[in-house]
Amino acid sequence: MDGKRILRPRKLKTENPEHWAIETVCDQLRSIIAKSASFVCGGLISVRNDGPANDHGLASPVKVYWCKGEDNPTRQLTLPLCHNINSKNASDNLRHLVHDCEPATLGKGQEDVLDPQYRKAGKLDPQQFTSSFHLSDFQILENVEQVLLPDLFLGQNRRLKAELYKLNVYSGPFGLFRKHVDTPRSADQIGSLVVCLPSSFKGGNLIVRHQGKEVNFDWSQHSETTIQWAAFYSDCEHEIKPVTEGERITLTYNLYITKTDVVQQAGRVPEKLILDPKSLSSYQCLKETLMKPDFLRMGGTLGIYCSHAYPHTSEGFEKLLPNALKGADLQVFSIFSHLGMDAEFHPVYNPPDSESVWEQEEPNSYDYQAFLSSLPIGTSDLDLYWKFLLFSRRMRGLEDLYSYAKKRHIDLNRHRSREDPLIGTNVEPLKRFFESEQDCSMTEILQNCRDPEIFPGVIWIGLPGNKEKDFLYIAYGNESSIGVYYSHAALIVDIPPFHVRQELSSARAW
């Protein structure tokens, strides 16, 4: 098998209005996913009262040390203020920090200009302060790389380096920074990272815009006890809305591209994703799509081919999921999971008995309605059980279904096309399989090696792209040889019925 076979699009001829609604929304989904290369991402880390940093994903209180001039004492501020034993001393130290900061400038061309009408904030330079907060404690850079770096440098051995630039304080009621685009400090600078330390304030939203899209970071709600962060490309317009109350204290880093080798690159998968899905540019679009009542009113399953290559047949890869996802794939997974949808990573196999060939066309995405119409309409226990499993949309549920059907001598294969992709239930290492029977078909070899599930009714979004060697087999001809069967990576997403999505929306405050 050459791994280049995919479905030929089969246009479904129907006047069913729900079919056309599904077709329209699938077109929108396809466009959203295709354009989901992000320009910004963010996350948050809760602060605990005591204990080491990164203990159960929590952070220790942040200590900031600074000195204004050689003749002045070194001062210390511990954030959040509520974690200080002496709250009066802590409040005094916060006032000292605000007082000791110099007025922050802004870049205009090659000059730094002081303009309080445009930017009202205080700043300390890196040589004037230090803190107990370290990006590496929480693998923040690795999280940023997973979203931002693949979109620019896919296939290149590049990584991000962060350089501490300033400590800034925006004080209420006048602290602000109007719309601007950062001035890169060097040719290899690609963006900025802003870390908001745990200090109570109101207002001060960070707004990031790029090519007509906007992401709004409202950090005030969790500002007192949470470290929050955002990273974005240098060409993004951004602003800080007026801080109306309190002190908004941030650490700003410049992000640079740096080269690395493949060995170093392999160890950079973050141990934990700390991304906030709402910070991703495609969040709002996907949320609105799922709230369309005509889209999969009774529920269904989306198969979304991954945009990036993954070594999903490498030993131990399954343990790295979902943290190993990158770029658009990570965005899709994070957003659907945040919205309460089950999203899982699966290998997908092109059917060996398909006569289709590679074409730059997408598989038929609208067999959902044809599949539903092919099911017998009735109240038999099989009908109810099949539809229950279909609409519960759980891959593991298919094992129960096949067991159920086998006991009743029912052939479920009739509900699928021979050109439907087959879905592997697990991510497994590369397998070497040698078949001694010369008349063994590819279908039998595939079933013996991987036993993929026949899962009809999946709505496929996108094209199968990067492939991975999945298993080896004996290929017979004039002389026997070793053949290779490939699989593609895909996210299988369970979409609940519309009334369940409404309940999730209310419960989770989408």
User: pLDDT tens, 5-16?
Assistant: 333 333 433 445
Q: How confident is the model at residue 1 (pLDDT cuts 50, 70, 90)?
A: very low
* Residue 133 within any structural domain of the chain: yes
Mean pLDDT (whole number) for 61-77: 89
Q: What is the pLDDT of residue 268?
A: 63
Tell whether 147 and 31 lie within a shared domain.
Answer: no
* Residue 9 within any structural domain of the chain: no
User: pLDDT tens, 289-318?
Assistant: 888 887 777 777 888 888 777 888 888 888
User: pLDDT tens, 228-259?
Assistant: 999 998 888 999 999 999 999 999 999 998 86
Tell whether 258 and 351 lie within a shared domain.
Answer: no
Tell whether 260 and 383 lie within a shared domain.
Answer: no
Residue 398: helix, strand or coil by DSSP?
helix
* Residue 392 within any structural domain of the chain: yes
Residue 42: helix, strand or coil by DSSP?
strand
Higher pLDDT, 14 or 125: 125
Q: What is the pLDDT of residue 459?
A: 81
CB 204, CB 241: distance < 8 Å: yes
Q: What is the pLDDT of residue 437?
A: 57
- Among the residues of 339-476, which ranges form H helices? 367-374, 381-392, 397-407, 442-449
pTM over 0.75: no
Domain boundary, last residue among 244, 279, 314: 279
Give one DSSP letter per residue of 46-62, joined into a string: EB-SSS-TTBTTBBPPE
Q: How confident is the model at residue 100 (pLDDT cuts 50, 70, 90)?
A: very high
* Residue 336 within any structural domain of the chain: yes
Tell whether 27 and 51 lie within a shared domain.
Answer: no
Q: What is the pLDDT of residue 229?
A: 97
As for how many domains the chain has, the answer is 2
Whether residue 173 is preceded by a cis peptide bond, meaning omega within 30 degrees of 0, is yes
Given a cut of 90, is residue 199 above it in pLDDT?
A: yes
Range of the domain at 220: 40-279
Tell whether 44 and 26 lie within a shared domain.
Answer: no
57-90 burial code (b ≥16 CB/10 A, e <16) = ebbbbbebebbbeeeeeebebbbbbebbeeeeeb
Given a cut of 80, is residue 42 above it in pLDDT?
A: yes
Given a cut of 50, is residue 383 above it in pLDDT?
A: no
